[in-house]
Amino acid sequence: MITLSARRAALAAALTAGLLLSGCHKVEGRQGFNLDETLVSAIAVGTDNKDSVASTLGRPTFSGTFSDNDWYYVSRQTKNMAYNQPHTYQQTILHVRFDANGNVAAVERKGMEQVANIHPSDDKTPTLGRHKSLWDELFGNIGAVGTAGQKGHSTDNPGG
């Protein structure tokens, strides 16, 4: 017969294991525009305009920097384990280009080739030049201030 304390210990062990394993769950996330293939395929070059695209797809994620004739819809899917940094495993950029009259001129789709992998230096920024210690930076100019540009007396110059 199992005693009450053994049941409590087994329940506590099961709860502890459940809490520990819940931290190892894969978390998937979606950012940006929800890309629907039927809506994207409904956009026709030459027939649709800015108003019809806005009513079909909604407002763009962002528009062009120099012209309002470029609309971008960005969709990104990420995943991570527990508390790690999320990383992108799928990305779609839908670029809708309009002509001067506001009609759709082109619809382009780009994917993961647009993601840039940047690996910053985590130690210190590399610089050119001399590497001085804190001691040299604080006390390196002692005795050197005011000496440049002054006329000094020397034995080589009999007139000075």
Cα–Cα distance for residue pair 76/135, rounded to 1 Å: 49
List the Cα angle 102/107/112 in 5-degree steps: 135
Q: Domain map of the chain by residue range?
A: 24-115
CB neighbour list of residue 11: distance below 8 Å, 6 or more residues apart: none
- The pair of structure tokens assigned to 104 is 């759709």
Q: Which helix (H) or strand (E) holds 107?
A: strand 104-110
- The pair of structure tokens assigned to 82 is 């527990």
Specify the pLDDT at position 123.
74
Q: Any idea which architecture 24-115 has in CATH?
A: 2-Layer Sandwich (3.30)
Specify the pLDDT at position 1.
58
pLDDT tens string 79-126: 887 777 788 888 889 999 999 999 999 999 988 887 677 777 667 776
- How many CB atoms are located within 10 Å of the residue 22 CB? 9
What percent of the chain has pLDDT above 70? Answer: 80
What is the DSSP secondary structure assignment for residue 49, as one 8-state letter? B
